[in-house]
Every structure is written in structure tokens, then in C-alpha cells.
């Protein structure tokens, strides 16, 4: 087995499985769970651009989800603009806000940065919650906006079944993974990593660390906003607590951290593992022992962080390597 | 406008209780350099411990401190020892292990939902405690007596912790470790034991805050969440690790809430507090009294 | 960015593979083929900030189901027993939607009910409408839930515009009865869907009634201190204070008002938190003379009401409240519809529900006369009663005072508050 086959082969296999899953999985509930899983994998991979590569811990990404969701929803409800266009506009808006947030906060380290992002996200949420009408724009404050499931079709980003949503989010996920891969191999990627680990050394070498981080933040927030639009079109109802809450920011960050931030597949891995844990423990325990699923989630978080602080992708990589070594005599790397 | 004095004083009183709640956080934050997201849950635990202590013994809430403080200290001590220490050990070289944030969040989820399972979701109250509903009338102003008690509790606790850090051997060891844990351990200080004690103290402070809240507040599993973010804001405002800063920060927030609400909807004072938080983060990140924290 | 190697693709696919295998095993287990069972999905907030009321609803509905099953189940379906599948919404709309999807598609429930929080009920009913599964809404009051034009939604409680309307009718009746006029009103309400909905209704009614609104203030339900708000109320000095609160803030506001000696002529609450049993326990004497509008009260003059309450109290330790009663009769309405539908076909059940004319029976312990749904699915007879909290010798209790016909014998409401 050549090295390239070991490289490309699994990827092709994963792609085929992913494309074919909806044909095998007939249960609507499981499709729903899968869609949400891919959505979170998408969110965490986008987050990874800042949180993983740039080495900081942003805990306010829910603001971008909210910006994306509200922009496309308001534009489509009030002005009849297609959600796809609204998605782009929302992304641009989010990128601008992301840069505004990033400018002052990137100077801070560690805990302070995290707290600042929380403050921004919560501040934005509180404002949206209190504003019913921003000039001519109806935001409806805490009552949120409902999208009537009327015109289905690709142009309107609205479908009666789950399958189209599945493929759209799969496509988005593949796209963002490819982007991450491309960045990791590019100059920007190296600047970010250097800036994250040894900022002084990087700057001494002439790397404009601040600019690299801002670019990463802009990209990350742009992409995160897309997820907001997707969410709005998938669940058909948004309000500040559902698209802008701190819970979402935390969940994204934790999935990435558990999977292994800074690696390309870490976030996806984290989502693959944690989302089912959350969903299934809520399904099996939620009705009988309320709150038990959150206890389980907390325990999983703690255990993983104690035993595998770099994320689960590390032991899995090693395991995979030893397997391929045994099977084919060498791994795909050197 | 004539009410401003009354509002400011009441704001200071309630604010000092916020400060007391944040005191534990600033100690833990200042020493261990980690964000402890479980702090609100520790406060909740403190309130439940205080509640049960009073119900079971019939003591005056502040007398129940005799039970609450040791229990909370031990709780914090072992929480650090069992759950958080392994991470510090694993990440020796890292100055601020970020993974501790996740672990403390896990602790938060576990504590809040465990108490939901065990105690149930209902709101509890210390109905007939001697402090309930008592008001002091001073020159036409009404001041809340339980909050006044809280004010003095906050001052005394702050003083006690300050003296502890300045005068006792362990206190100095903690301060040394917070400045540079490698250097301190070279001096023979067991950094893990230091951390345990620090978290113990922080948790005990949360317990005292709980005692000052139970005479007039509701007790329920998610009560900690309400105070959590507020405590972080106070700690940043006042300065990481600064005891005086925590109290002052709390009072500032209290005054904003009390005075601000007279001029605008209470929901907007929330936004103002966040705004102030951000302003401080950018302009003076070390807070009012914080030690200059190198970036 | 440690291992930049390509093997990530490999184990991503390994995991995907494992996932697919597990799906194949778990996916869509055929519903246990037992025609002798009616499956009901119940989405409630069992954890999170509304856990207390979610639990109360669960208890009252459990009690109803137990009674129905013990009496022989659904006779027209051969004595089929009702089985409840509970799901936790955590008060989050997306979780409610996900659970609805799961209950309909995996558990194959025949009827859905829930979700207490209007924000959760609203999108969740859209899900059941898509699948044609009948959805009985016991409690959520937001007008828009039945205004969406859905055919499968049936609501037991009154719409919030009826609540606000009745509060103002009561107010004018009160003024007539005591020959005292009030002119200034203060609106204080929780900053959510529910509170804001009431506030907009109040503002319109105040304008119609010629009242002066001296304060219109939303507040965050999760505020840590109500003193500033209470001070503001005191200084605005309204004749009447109207409140919309959840339990925790209701308790805090009431106690704080007592501390600061804020005494408007009357306080009119809107159920919800004020009707929660823990409110009365926690606020005690401070809650005296508060008027509260609810669907039901323990002293309602209907056969079976007292017995049902006693039974509930002995089982769970606290009284039934308006909302838990809505849950209780929702189950009886459902059982009645099932009997008439004679089948588990969703359309048949839905049509049977639409024709409901339930006036008698063990479930009908509400103050009004019958449950009948209009074309939008709203229970047209849902009526409300106003109670006053007072101590007439047996401890603090809630006493029905309005409409006059429902008033507890021998009690005269106290107005204005002394």
C-alpha cells in the first residue's frame, strides 16, 4: 500500500460513507441528530481558526451565530431577500464585528481574552433582547422571530425533509475543512501558529502577528455566521437565548478542546464524540432523572481534560499509526 | 434626585455582598491564575449548606458560620486536590493551563445538576429567620438590615483574608506561589498544598457570602448562575487577586444597579455593567487595584 | 497545530464507520407492536430555570393518566392503556423541536403535548403540524400559538389577550364594587415572551380605559436583586401595580416590597410565578391581599375539585395550581377524544379533538363549564378567575373573588389594601 493510498484512501472512504448515510439511515430523528452534529463540527472547525491556530480562547462566538441568524432572517422576512444572500451579508457583518472585537482583545492574554469575548457576546445578546425595533428593522426582542415554513425550494433555503439540509451542511463542513487544511499549509497558518506559541520570537522575525490574528478572526466569524443562517432555516425560530446564548459559545469551545484544538480533525472528532453523548443522554435520562445528562457531560469533560488535555486526537492518531504500521509496514508520514 | 443618597447607600450594601461573593473568586484567580467557572456553583453550595445548617440546628444564620466555614473550606480543599491538581501536574510548564477552565465548567454542570437531583428544583427560603424583612430607618431612608449584616461580614472577611496573607506563614507561601510557582517550590514550598489551601479559602469565602444571602434570598439549584458572570466582572474591575478591589468592584456594580435603575429599565443596567466591564478590560485591564499583569 | 499529518482523515472515517454500524443497529427499531397502548409524547422543562413548574405539570399529568388507566384505559380501543414518554426541553426551543422530532419519528407517539414555555411550544407545534400529529397545549398562553393557522394544535388555557382583558375587567368591577376610582397604573413584567406579550395588551387596555401609565418596566427575570426595581415602583407611587413574574422573582419582589413598605392600592399578578405553590410558602404574610388571575383555584366550586386536590397534595406534597390543572384536564380531553376517535390514526384523533364538547367527567374540575375548541384550536370557554391571597383564620390561602358568581361564599375582597 503506497503512502499516497494511505493518505487519500480513508478520505475517499469517509466521503462515500458521508454521502451515502442518508440512504442507509431512514430514521428522521437520527438524521436530525446527524445534521446538528455536522453543524457543530462546522462551528468548531470555524472556531478552530482562531481558537486553535491562533492559540487564544474565544468564548463569545455565539454572537456571530446570532448575527448570521438575525441578518438573514430579518432580510428574508421583512425584505424578501433570499436567505443565501442574507447569509453572505450576515457573514460580512460578522466579520466586521469580529475584527472590531479582535482589535483590542488580542492584546490580552489567556483568561482576560476569554472574559472579554464573553462580555462582548453577552453585551450583544442583552442589547438584542432589549430592542424590539431598530429603526425600521423588526428584531422583536425576546420574543424572537419565526420563519413560516411556506415556500420550499433551494432558492428559499427551505426544505420539507431533512436530506437537503444534511447535504448542505455536509458540503459546508467539507468546505471549511478544506479551507483549514489550506491555511495550515499556507504562510498565514504558520504565522498564526508561531504567533500563538512564541509571539515575541515571531515578531522578531518580522511576522505581523496582530494582522494574522485579525485575518483569522475575520474568517472565523464570517464562517460562523453562515452556521447561524443554517440554524435559522433549519429550526425556523430564533430568539436571543437560542442563537446567542453563552451555552453555544461554551459548547463550541469545549468540543474543540476535547477533540483537540489546533489540529484539523480535532474539532470534528470532538463533535462526533460529544454531540451523541449530549443528545443520547438527554433522550435516555432527560425524562426520568432531570439534569443527569448534564452531569454526565460534566464528568466526560473533566475526565478527558485530566487524562488527555491535548484532546482526544492525540491518542487516536497514535493508535491509527500503530495500526497502519502493523498492516502496511509504514504509516502515511515519513 | 433626592433619593440618590438612599440609592447609593443601599447600592453599597448590596454591592458589598456581591464583593464578598467575588472575594473567593479573586483569591482563586489571583493565586492559581485560572478562571474558575464553578464559582457560582460554589456559592450555591454555600447557600444550601447555610440553609440546612440553620434548619437543622435552629441557629441564627450568622452563628451557622461555625458550621459553614469549615465545611466549605474542606469542600474547596478537596475539590482542588482531587479534580484540579492533576491538570496542574500535567501542565507544569504552562503558566495558565486553559484546560482548567473546562474542568471547572464540568464541575459547574455537575454541582448544579447534582443539587437539582438531590434537592429538587423548588425554591427554598429561610422564612422565619431573625433577619428577614428588617429595615433600619435612618433620616428618612430605609436600609436593609440583612444587607447591612452582609456589609460587615464582607469587610470582616476581607480583613481576615488580608491579614492571613500578610501575617501567616501559609499566607506568605501562597503569595509567593502566586508570583512564581517554580521559584516558590524551589524554596521548599509545596505548591499543590498551597493551591489546596487557596481554593479552600476561596470556597469558604463563597460560603460566607452564601450565609449573608440566605436571610433574604431564594435558594435553588441554579442560583449560582445568576452570580457567576457578575463575580467575574467584579474581579476584573477590582483587579485580579486584589481583595480591596473585589469589594470596591462589587460596590460599584451595586451602585450602578441601584442608581441606574431609577433612570432606565433594569434590563439596560445589565448592558451598562457589561459595557463598564469592557471599558476596564481595554483601558485598565489590571483593574482598580490589580498588580500589573504582564501580557 | 501539532500533528499536521493526514491521518486525521483516516480516523474520521473510522469513527464514521463505527457510527454507521451503531446506527444500523439502533436505527428505527420497529415500534413494539402492541395495539393495546396509546403513546403520548410530553415535552416539558424538567431541568433548567423552569424545572419547578415542569415537574408540577409532570405530576398532575401522571396522576390523570394513572386514573384513566385504572378506570379501564380507552375502552373503544379495547382497553388500551396510555403510556407517557417524557422529554426534557431544558426550556430551549431547539431541544423542544429535536425532542418532538424524536418522539414522532422514533417513539411513534400518537399525540404530543407540552411545552409550558411559549417560546418552546411555538416552534414545536410547527413540527407536529408538519407530521400531522395532534398537539394539545395545556398551558402556553402566547396568542400566536393558535393564531398560526395550524390544524393540529389545540390549546386548553386561555390566550394571553384574554388574561389581560379579564384583568382590566376585574379592575373596573373592583372599582364599581367599592366605589373607588383608580387612575395610575404601573406595569412591571419579566423580560421574556410572556411578560412582553402581557405588557403590550395592558398598554392598549389602559389607553381604552383612560388610565395613566406611570411605569412600564421590563426586568430581567434572573436579576440578583429586586430592590432597585422596588424603589422605582415606590417612587412612581401607582394606584395599581400589575405584575408578570416567574416564581423566583415573584418571591423576591414581594418580600422586597414588604421590606421597603411599598403599598399600592392593589397588586394584580398574572399567574405563573405567583400561582406557584412555592411562592405562597416563601412569601408568606408579605403576599397578603395580592390579587392573582388564574385558570383554577383549590376552592373552585366544582365536583371533584377538592378531592383531586387532596389526592394530589397527599401524593406530591403541594397543591394543584392553575397550570398543573390545565395539564390534568388536557389528559382527560385527550382520553375523551381517543374514545370518540376509536382509532390511533392521527387524522381521526385530530378530528375527534376538534369536535370535543367535554362538560362532565372526572377531569372537569376547572371553574368553567366545558372544553370546546374553536376553528383555530382555542378552547373557547377557557375562563379565568381572580383570587385574593388572604388569611381568614386558616393560614395564608388563595380565595376566589371574581367573577362574582365564583366568589367563595362569605368572603368580601379587601380593597384598597390597608
Instruction: With respect to residue C54, please indicate whether it lies within any of the assigned structural domains.
Output: yes
pLDDT band of residue A330 (cuts 50, 70, 90) is low
Is pLDDT of C29 > 80? no
Contact criterion met (CB below 8 Å) for A93 and A67: yes
In this structure, the answer to whether residues C279 and C389 fall within a common structural domain is yes
**B234 domain residue, yes or no:** no
Domain membership of residue B145 as a residue range:
17-224
Check residue C14 and give its pLDDT.
52
Q: What is the mean pLDDT of residues C13-21?
A: 53
Q: Which residues contact A202 (CB under 8 A, 6 or more apart)?
A: A191, A194, A195, A209
For chains A and C, CB pairs below 8 A equal 190
Provide the grid cell at A164: 437537503
Q: Is C219 an 8 Å CB contact of chain B?
A: yes
Q: A314 CB contacts (<8 Å, ≥6 apart)?
A: A260, A308, C2, C3
C33 — pLDDT class (breaks 50, 70, 90) = very low
Question: In angstroms, what is the C-alpha Rg of chain B?
Answer: 19
Q: Which of A151, A235, A146, A70 has its CA nearest to residue C144?
A: A146
Confidence class of residue B207 from pLDDT cuts 50, 70 and 90? very high
Q: Is residue C137 part of a domain?
A: yes
Whether the ω angle into residue C115 lies within 30 degrees of 0, i.e. cis, is yes
Q: Is residue B260 part of a domain?
A: no
Is residue B157 scored above 90 in pLDDT? yes
Give tens-digit pLDDT for C357-397.
888 777 777 777 788 898 888 988 888 888 999 988 888 88
- Residue C9 inside a domain? The answer is no
Name the minimum distance, in Å, from the CA of B256 to any CA of chain C.
Answer: 10
Residue B232 lies in a domain: no
Measure the CA–CA gap between A127 and A142, rounded to whole angstroms: 10
Neighbours of chain A (3+ CB pairs under 8 A): B, C
Residues of chain B positioned with their CB less than 8 A from the CB of A120: 278
As a whole number, mean pLDDT of residues C54-77 equals 89
Rounded to a whole number of angstroms, the distance from the CA of C260 to the nearest CA of chain B is 7
pLDDT of residue B152: 93
The Cα of B87 is separated from the nearest Cα of chain A by a number of Å equal to: 6
- Is residue B4 in a domain? no
Strand order in the sheet with C291-294: C212-219, C184-190, C240-244, C266-269, C291-294, C385-391, C396-402
Q: Chains contacting B with at least 3 CB pairs below 8 Å?
A: A, C
Nearest to C255 by CA among C278, C223, C289, C283: C283
For chain A, say whether C2 makes contact (Cβ under 8 Å): yes
pLDDT digits (tens, 9 = 90+) for B64-108: 888 999 999 999 999 888 888 877 776 665 545 677 777 888 899
| Beta-carbon contacts of residue C333 (< 8 Å; ≥ 6 apart) | C136, C154, C156, C353, C356, C358, C363, C371
Q: What confidence tens digit (pLDDT) does each residue in C99-117 have?
A: 898 898 888 899 999 888 8
Q: What pLDDT shows up at residue A235?
A: 84
Q: What is the mean pLDDT of chain A?
A: 82
- Determine which of B144-153, C21-30, C324-333 has the lowest per-residue pLDDT on average: C21-30
Asked if A287 and C85 come within 8 Å (Cβ–Cβ), the reply is: yes
For the CA atoms of A24, A30, A32, A38, the dihedral, rounded to the nearest 10 degrees, stands at: -80
Judge contact between A113 and A106, C-beta under 8 A: yes
Asked if residue B168 belongs to a domain, the reply is yes
Which DSSP state fits C413?
Answer: -
**pLDDT value of position B191:** 79
Assess whether C237 and C286 both reside in one domain.
Answer: yes
Answer whether residue C247 is part of any domain.
Answer: yes
Task: Report the gap between the CA of B5 and the closest CA in chain C (Å).
Answer: 13
Q: What is the mean pLDDT of residues A125-151?
A: 78
Does residue C128 have a cis bond before it (omega within 30 degrees)? no
pLDDT value at B256 more than 70: yes
Which residues 43-62 of chain B have a CB within 8 Å of chain C?
none
Calpha distance C122→A236 (Å, rounded) = 10
Residues C177, C83 share a domain? no
3-state class of A40 per DSSP?
helix
Of A191-205, A208-222, A236-250, C390-404, the least confident: A191-205
- Cell triple for A217: 478572526
Tell me the CA distances in angstroms from C12 to A226, A261, A268, B106, C26, one per residue in order. 23, 15, 8, 26, 21
Inter-chain residue contact A301 with B98, CB threshold 8 Å: no
User: Rounded distance, CA A137 to CA B241, Å?
Assistant: 44
Q: Would residue C82 count as lying in a domain? A: yes
Mean of the pLDDT values across residues B116-134?
A: 81
pLDDT at residue B203 tops 50: yes
Q: Which of B73, B104, B107, B74 is nearest to B88 (CA)?
A: B104
Q: Are residues C227 and C260 in the same domain?
A: yes
Minimum-distance CB partner of A119 among B97, B101, B281:
B281
The closest of B268, B205, B148, B210 to B28, measured between CA atoms, is: B205
The residue in chain C having the minimum alpha-carbon distance to the alpha carbon of residue A181 is C4
Per-residue DSSP letters for B200-263?
A: HHHHHHHHHHHHHHTTTS-B-TTHHHHHHHHHHHHHHHH-TT-HHHHHHHHHHHHHHHHHHHHH
What's the pTM?
0.82
Residue B235 placed within a domain: no
Query: Using the 8-state DSSP alphabet, how is residue C360 labeled?
Result: S
Residue C15 is assigned to a structural domain of this protein? no
pLDDT digits (tens, 9 = 90+) for C188-227: 999 887 888 899 899 999 999 899 999 999 998 878 888 8
B–C CB contacts, 8 A cutoff, strictly below = 99
Same domain, C316 and C192: no
Helix, strand, coil fractions of chain A, as percent rounded to 5: 75, 5, 20
Q: Count of domains in chain B? A: 1
pLDDT tens sequence across B63-75: 888 899 999 999 9
CA A246 – CA C356 distance, rounded (Å): 44
pLDDT band of residue B295 (cuts 50, 70, 90) is very low
Domain of C113, in residue numbers = 37-158+303-354
Q: Looking at residue C261, which CATH number applies to its domain?
A: 3.40.50.2300
Q: Smallest Cβ distance to B257: which of C49, C51, C225?
A: C225
- Residue C16: inside a domain, yes or no? no
Q: Which member of B7, B116, B135 has the closest CB to residue C231?
A: B7
Total domain count, chain C: 2
Using a CB-CB cut-off of 8 Å, the residues of chain C touching B260 are 228
Q: Across all residues in chain C, what is the average pLDDT?
A: 84
SS3 at position C49: coil
Separation CA B66–CA B194 (nearest Å) = 23
A269-279 confidence digits (pLDDT tens): 888 888 887 77
| C265 in the same domain as C211 | yes
Q: Is C274 found in the same domain as C179?
A: yes
> What pLDDT score does B209 carry?
93
Question: What burial letters (b/e) apply to B123-135, b meaning 16+ CB within 10 Å?
Answer: bbbbeebebbbbb
- Of A35-44, A192-201, C237-246, C289-298, minimum mean pLDDT range: A192-201
Question: C27 vs A32: CB contact, 8 Å cut-off?
Answer: no
Using CA coordinates, name the residue in chain B closest to C258. B133
Per-residue pLDDT tens over the stretch A293-326: 778 778 887 888 777 777 777 787 788 778 777 8
Amino acid at each position: 500500500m503506497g503512502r499516497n493510498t494511505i493518505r487519500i484512501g480513508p478520505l475517499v472512504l469517509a466521503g462515500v460513507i458521508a454521502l451515502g448515510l442518508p440512504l442507509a439511515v431512514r430514521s428522521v430523528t437520527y438524521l436530525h441528530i446527524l445534521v446538528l452534529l455536522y453543524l457543530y463540527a462546522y462551528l468548531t472547525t470555524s472556531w478552530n481558526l482562531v481558537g486553535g491556530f491562533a492559540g487564544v480562547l474565544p468564548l463569545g462566538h455565539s454572537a456571530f451565530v446570532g448575527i448570521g441568524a438575525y441578518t438573514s432572517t430579518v432580510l428574508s422576512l421583512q425584505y424578501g431577500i433570499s436567505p443565501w444572500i442574507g447569509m453572505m451579508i450576515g457573514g460580512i457583518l460578522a466579520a466586521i464585528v469580529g475584527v472590531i472585537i479582535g482589535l483590542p482583545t488580542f492584546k490580552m492574554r489567556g483568561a482576560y481574552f476569554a472574559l472579554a469575548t464573553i462580555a462582548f457576546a453577552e453585551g450583544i445578546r442583552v442589547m438584542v433582547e432589549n430592542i424590539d425595533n431598530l429603526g425600521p428593522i423588526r428584531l422583536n426582542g425576546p420574543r424572537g422571530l419565526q420563519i413560516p415554513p411556506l415556500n420550499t425550494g433551494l432558492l428559499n433555503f427551505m426544505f420539507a425533509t431533512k436530506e437537503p439540509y444534511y447535504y448542505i451542511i455536509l458540503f459546508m463542513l467539507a468546505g471549511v475543512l478544506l479551507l483549514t487544511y489550506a491555511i495550515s499549509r499556507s504562510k498565514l497558518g504558520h504565522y498564526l501558529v508561531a504567533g500563538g506559541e512564541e509571539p515575541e520570537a515571531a515578531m522578531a522575525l518580522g511576522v505581523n502577528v496582530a494582522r494574522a490574528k485579525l485575518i483569522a478572526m475575520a474568517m472565523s466569524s464570517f464562517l460562523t455566521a453562515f452556521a447561524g443562517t443554517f440554524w435559522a432555516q433549519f429550526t425556523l425560530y430564533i430568539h436571543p437565548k437560542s442563537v446567542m446564548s453563552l451555552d453555544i459559545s461554551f459548547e463550541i469551545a469545549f468540543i474543540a478542546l476535547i477533540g483537540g484544538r489546533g489540529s484539523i480533525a480535532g474539532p470534528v472528532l470532538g463533535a462526533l464524540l460529544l454531540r451523541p453523548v449530549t443528545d443520547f443522554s438527554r433522550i435516555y435520562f432527560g425524562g426520568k432523572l432531570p439534569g443527569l445528562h448534564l452531569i454526565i457531560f460534566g464528568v466526560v469533560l473533566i475526565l478527558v481534560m485530566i487524562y488527555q488535555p491535548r484532546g482526544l486526537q492525540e491518542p487516536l492518531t497514535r493508535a491509527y499509526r500503530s495500526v497502519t504500521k502493523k498492516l502496511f509496514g509504514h504509516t502515511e508520514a515519513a | 434626585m433626592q433619593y440618590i443618597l438612599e440609592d447609593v447607600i443601599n447600592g453599597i450594601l448590596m454591592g458589598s455582598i456581591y464583593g464578598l461573593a467575588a472575594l473567593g473568586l479573586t483569591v482563586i484567580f489571583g493565586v492559581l491564575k485560572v478562571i474558575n467557572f464553578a464559582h457560582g456553583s460554589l456559592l450555591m453550595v454555600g447557600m444550601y449548606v447555610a440553609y440546612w445548617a440553620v434548619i437543622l440546628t435552629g441557629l441564627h444564620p450568622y452563628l451557622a458560620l461555625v458550621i459553614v466555614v469549615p465545611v466549605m473550606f474542606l469542600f474547596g480543599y478537596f475539590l482542588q486536590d482531587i479534580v484540579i491538581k492533576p491538570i496542574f501536574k500535567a501542565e507544569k510548564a504552562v503558566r495558565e493551563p486553559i484546560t482548567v477552565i473546562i474542568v471547572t465548567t464540568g464541575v459547574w454542570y455537575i454541582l448544579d445538576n447534582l443539587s437539582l437531583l438531590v434537592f429538587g428544583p423548588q425554591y427554598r427560603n429561610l422564612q422565619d429567620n431573625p433577619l428577614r424583612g428588617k429595615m433600619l430607618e435612618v433620616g428618612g431612608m430605609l436600609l436593609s438590615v440583612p444587607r447591612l449584616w452582609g456589609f460587615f461580614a464582607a469587610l470582616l472577611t476581607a480583613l481576615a483574608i488580608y491579614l492571613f496573607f500578610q501575617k501567616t506563614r501559609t499566607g506568605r507561601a501562597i503569595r509567593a506561589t502566586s508570583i512564581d510557582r517554580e521559584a516558590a517550590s524551589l524554596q521548599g514550598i509545596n505548591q499543590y498544598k498551597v493551591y489546596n489551601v487557596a481554593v479552600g479559602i476561596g470556597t469558604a469565602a463563597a460560603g460566607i457570602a452564601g450565609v449573608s444571602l440566605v436571610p433574604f434570598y431564594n435558594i435553588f439549584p441554579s442560583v449560582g448562575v445568576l452570580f457567576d458572570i457578575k463575580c467575574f466582572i467584579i474581579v476584573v474591575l477590582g483587579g485580579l487577586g486584589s481583595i480591596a478591589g473585589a469589594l470596591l468592584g462589587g460596590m460599584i456594580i451595586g451602585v450602578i444597579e441601584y442608581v441606574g435603575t431609577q433612570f432606565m429599565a433594569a434590563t439596560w443596567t445589565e448592558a451598562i455593567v457589561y459595557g463598564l466591564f469592557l471599558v476596564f478590560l481595554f483601558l485598565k485591564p489590571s483593574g482598580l487595584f490589580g498588580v500589573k499583569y504582564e501580557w | 497545530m501539532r500533528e499536521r499529518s493526514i491521518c486525521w482523515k483516516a480516523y474520521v472515517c473510522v469513527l464514521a464507520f463505527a457510527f454507521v454500524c451503531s446506527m444500523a443497529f439502533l436505527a428505527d427499531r420497529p415500534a413494539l407492536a402492541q395495539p393495546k397502548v396509546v403513546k403520548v409524547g410530553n415535552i416539558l422543562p424538567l431541568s433548567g430555570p423552569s424545572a419547578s413548574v415542569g415537574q408540577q405539570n409532570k405530576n398532575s399529568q401522571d396522576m390523570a393518566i394513572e386514573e384513566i388507566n385504572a378506570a379501564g384505559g380507552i375502552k373503544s380501543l379495547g382497553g388500551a392503556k396510555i403510556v407517557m414518554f417524557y422529554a426534557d426541553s431544558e426550556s430551549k426551543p431547539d431541544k423542544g423541536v429535536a425532542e418532538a422530532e424524536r418522539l414522532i419519528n422514533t417513539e411513534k407517539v400518537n399525540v404530543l403535548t407540552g411545552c409550558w414555555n411559549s417560546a418552546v411550544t411555538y416552534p414545536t407545534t410547527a413540527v407536529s403540524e408538519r407530521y400531522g400529529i395532534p398537539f394539545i397545549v395545556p398551558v402556553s398562553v402566547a396568542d400566536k400559538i393558535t393564531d398560526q393557522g395550524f390544524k393540529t394544535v389545540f390549546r386548553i388555557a386561555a390566550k394571553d389577550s384574554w388574561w389581560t382583558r379579564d384583568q382590566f375587567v376585574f379592575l373596573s368591577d373592583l372599582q364599581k364594587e367599592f366605589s373607588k376610582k383608580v387612575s395610575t397604573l404601573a406595569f412591571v413584567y419579566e423580560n421574556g415572551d410572556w411578560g412582553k406579550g402581557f405588557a403590550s395588551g395592558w398598554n392598549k387596555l389602559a389607553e381604552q380605559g383612560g388610565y395613566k401609565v406611570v411605569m412600564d418596566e421590563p426586568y430581567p427575570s434572573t436579576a440578583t436583586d429586586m430592590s432597585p426595581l422596588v424603589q422605582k415602583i415606590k417612587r412612581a407611587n401607582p394606584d395599581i401595580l400589575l405584575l408578570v413574574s416567574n416564581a423566583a422573582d415573584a418571591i423576591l419582589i414581594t418580600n422586597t416590597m414588604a421590606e421597603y413598605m411599598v403599598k399600592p392600592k392593589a397588586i394584580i399578578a398574572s399567574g405563573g410565578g405567583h400561582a406557584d405553590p412555592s411562592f405562597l410558602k416563601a412569601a408568606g404574610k408579605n403576599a397578603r391581599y395580592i390579587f392573582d388571575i388564574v385558570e383554577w383555584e383549590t376552592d373552585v366550586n366544582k365536583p371533584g375539585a377538592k378531592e383531586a386536590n387532596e389526592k394530589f397534595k397527599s401524593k406530591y406534597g403541594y397543591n394543584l395550581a392553575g397550570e398543573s390543572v390545565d395539564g390534568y384536564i388536557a389528559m382527560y380531553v385527550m382520553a375523551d377524544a381517543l374514545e370518540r376517535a376509536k382509532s390511533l390514526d392521527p387524522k381521526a384523533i385530530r378530528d375527534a379533538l376538534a369536535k370535543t364538547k367535554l362538560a362532565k367527567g372526572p377531569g372537569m374540575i376547572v371553574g368553567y363549564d366545558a372544553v370546546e375548541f374553536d376553528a383555530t384550536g382555542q378552547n373557547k370557554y377557557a375562563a379565568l378567575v381572580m383570587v385574593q391571597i388572604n388569611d381568614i383564620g386558616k393560614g395564608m390561602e388563595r380565595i376566589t373573588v371574581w367573577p362574582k358568581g365564583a366568589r367563595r361564599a362569605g368572603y368580601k375582597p379587601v380593597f384598597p389594601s390597608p
